[in-house]
Structure 1
Amino acid sequence: MAKISNNFDILRLILAILVFFAHWNILTSQDISNPLFNLSGYAVHMFFIVSGFLIFWSFDADQNKKHFYIKRFFRIFPLYAFLIILQTLFFIGFSDGSTFEVIKYFIANIFFLNFLAPSVGSTLSSLEVNAINGSLWTLKNEVVFYLIVPLLFMFYKKWGGYILLILYSLSVVYMFAVDYLGIEKLLVQFPAQVRLFMVGILLYILFDKFNKNNIYLLAIVSLILLIVLKDNTYFNYILYPFCIGFMMIFLVYFVKNIKVNFDFSYSFYILHFPVIQLALYFEINPTNPIISFVVLFAVILVLSYFSEKYIEKRFIKIGREIVKKDRSE
């Protein structure tokens, strides 16, 4: 039933745009209090849940591990590597750091270890955030999840959904432990995201249980809880992922289908941060907030469109052709 028409493409684009709203607000020091400019956390968390749903679905459809990893590699890595190369070239040309620091930046980032080298030297230290691309931290979480999906699928087939609930619970325990120890940075590292991915997988597995009546009720209750308990730690660690997940199912399957012929949400997501940072670094960001927002959004939108057309689609096609050839042999 999950194969019926859905709004995943448009939802992912909207989530990427919401992240842009928040990052533009922070990076350009606008300090706009409007909720629309402060929803990046919810957007990223829903991204993870969407990934759990779609990637588990993808592996369920073709349980050949080799094919799965080939398709994931060509979906994610080519554009990512291209962007890391461009960012490295920027530091080669404009950084005050040493050659070693530039090399460290490239090696750390090409292997998704962005936290080891978010920038080079003091190149961007005058900006609000000293990182060329603060959005990339989510990708290492995605990559780790991709790597373990076949294992999760095997666990699920052997022990059922209980194993997923156990992994969810362990992720929640991790959150409380890290919070208790006061190590805030670890709250965004992979074990914390496990509970979000698990919700996505559970929603895929239980999808046939949902109907118009119960999902409407779950979505309304979830929205109320998200508003009323948004500052409650116990809620945020334990029940929050399910609330975000129910909202996702509602938006994707139970509202009017919006058909789009493009999917450049990935390009938009990983390109928007460096575009804003470079505009600020070279002092070409318009001083008028409205003009700044419109111009940067338009530039990123155009770059994302061409990125998807000439990089993403071409490498996705290569990945599919490799899989197709392997199947025929």
Structure 2
Amino acid sequence: MKKTTSEILERGNNNFDLLRIIAASAVIIYHSFALNPSWGLTDPTKNILTYVTTGGLAVKLFFFISGLLVTNSLLKNKSLVHFIISRAFRIIPALYFVILVPSLFIGPLLTSLSAHEYYSSGLLYEYIFRNLIIDTRYFLPGVSFENTYGFNGSIWTIRYEALCYITLAFLFSIGLHKYTKLSSIICLIIIFEPITPFKGFLFASSDNNGIYLLAPCFALGSLVALHKNSYRPSVWHAVALLIAAVIFHRYEITFSLLVCCSACLFALSLSANRWFIKLKIKNDISYGVYLWGFPIQQILSKYQDLGPVFGITASLFLSYLVASFSWKYIEKPAITLGKKISSSFVYSLPQEKNRPTDS
């Protein structure tokens, strides 16, 4: 008999770290096509699925896994303080690292301005301080590439992930987690909102499915977490959704939603596969790979004409390298510190007897 999601979520019974690294790598590969038009290559996923891209699917997978893990952590620990601290110490340090180092040290090497002009530019401080409060900005003074994506086009998703966390924390704070059926209904409303006349009423009103399907995929992860003790992931669930997507291919929003949900459930089933679990990754570098991939690709594309094979390979290698540094010296110490801080609060609460575990 297949494992329940609850069993899969136990340490050693999944390989979400590898899934996230694959997703982050897929984003880098996808961006290569847009950042290097001279290659004459297009996204194969979009060529096949029309409405869905490789990068789009990868980001939805990130949100699904995030929704699953953080909801499970919140339900398990039942501590809003622990949730807020753990999320902040997981997301913010690496984000600040990828904002501050390029803007203060790499940007001056790439800008067409003098050092004085660069460091005195209001655009520099707008980039830094707006991004530090997750109000995304993309452009550094005098730093231009042969595209309109800014210096780091990947950071746009962080704001939406933070909004998902805030929504989840709010729903928990009003005690909704005590009512599984009602919580499930809310998740279903968020998931199916895009295919209703109320699309954009709850979350993103964009016409880009890369944006408006983020919250539904996060909610799908939360829904699975709510029913972790009864839901047994199966690849056939993903196949069923994919067949449904083919049936509704004429309807872009429905097709895109079904494909993304299918990919998420397939990934969950894959994470519990025995051979996949054996491919253990020592360090969780996926977040760093995602954050650093875009600026590294930008620089390589502008200053090195490596071609598709070597260009993508070099982008991946350098992203892994910087992400490993970020994990070892920024992210992991921050996570450890966050656990110590949150534990001091949790232990002071009489109803919480068990030590919390990070998601």
Report the TM-score range of the alignment, normalised by the length of the smaller protein: 0.7 to 0.9
CA displacement at 1:34 relative to structure 2: 6.0
Q: What secondary structure, in the 3-state scheme, does the structure 2 residue paired with 1:239 have?
A: helix
* 1:100 aligns to 2:122 (yes or no): yes
* 1:32 aligns to 2:54 (yes or no): no
Q: Which of 82, 85, 90 in structure 1 is aligned with 2:97?
A: 82
Determine the C-alpha separation between the residues in 2 that align with 1:238 and 1:247. 14
1:225-259 alpha-carbon deviations (Å, 9 max, x no partner): 45665563242365344323322221222453232
Determine the C-alpha separation between the residues in 2 that align with 1:99 and 1:43. 35
Letter in 2 for 1:246: L
Q: Any gaps of 5 or more consecutive residues in structure 1?
A: none
1:1-329 to 2 correspondence within 5 Å? 1-2=6-7, 3-4=9-10, 5-29=13-37, 30-33=39-42, 35=44, 39-89=54-104, 90-91=106-107, 94=111, 96=113, 99-114=121-136, 117-121=137-141, 123-124=143-144, 126-153=145-172, 154-158=175-179, 159-173=182-196, 176=199, 184=207, 189=211, 192-211=213-232, 215-226=234-245, 232-236=251-255, 239-254=258-273, 256=275, 257-258=277-278, 259-281=280-302, 283=303, 285-329=304-348
Q: What secondary structure, in the 3-state scheme, does the structure 1 residue paired with 2:78 have?
A: coil
Compared CA separation, residues 294 and 239, structure 1 to 2 (3 A): closer
Determine the C-alpha separation between the residues in 2 that align with 1:113 and 1:31. 34
TM-score, normalising length: structure 1: 0.85
CA displacement at 1:200 relative to structure 2: 0.9
CA displacement at 1:304 relative to structure 2: 1.3
Compared CA separation, residues 234 and 53, structure 1 to 2 (3 A): same
| Equivalent pair of 1:102/1:120 in contact (CA under 8 Å) | yes
1:266-285 alpha-carbon deviations (Å, 9 max, x no partner): 0001010011112234x1x2
CA displacement at 1:260 relative to structure 2: 2.3
Determine the C-alpha separation between the residues in 2 that align with 1:229 and 1:210. 26
| Equivalent pair of 1:175/1:192 in contact (CA under 8 Å) | no
Letter in 2 for 1:162: I
| Equivalent pair of 1:222/1:246 in contact (CA under 8 Å) | no
Greater shift in the superposed pair: 196-205 or 13-22? 196-205
TM-score, normalising length: structure 2: 0.78
Compared CA separation, residues 221 and 317, structure 1 to 2 (3 A): same
Greater shift in the superposed pair: 17-26 or 155-164? 155-164
CA displacement at 1:172 relative to structure 2: 4.3
CA displacement at 1:294 relative to structure 2: 2.0
Q: How many residues align?
A: 317
Determine the C-alpha separation between the residues in 2 that align with 1:183 and 1:73. 27
CA RMSD of aligned residues (A): 2.8
Greater shift in the superposed pair: 75-84 or 86-95? 86-95
Flag the structure with higher helix content.
1
| Equivalent pair of 1:53/1:197 in contact (CA under 8 Å) | yes
Letter in 1 for 2:15: N
Q: What secondary structure, in the 3-state scheme, does the structure 2 residue paired with 1:112 have?
A: coil
CA displacement at 1:192 relative to structure 2: 4.8
Determine the C-alpha separation between the residues in 2 that align with 1:266 and 1:174. 35
| Equivalent pair of 1:105/1:120 in contact (CA under 8 Å) | yes
Query: Structure 1 segments of 4 or more deviating over 6 A?
Result: none
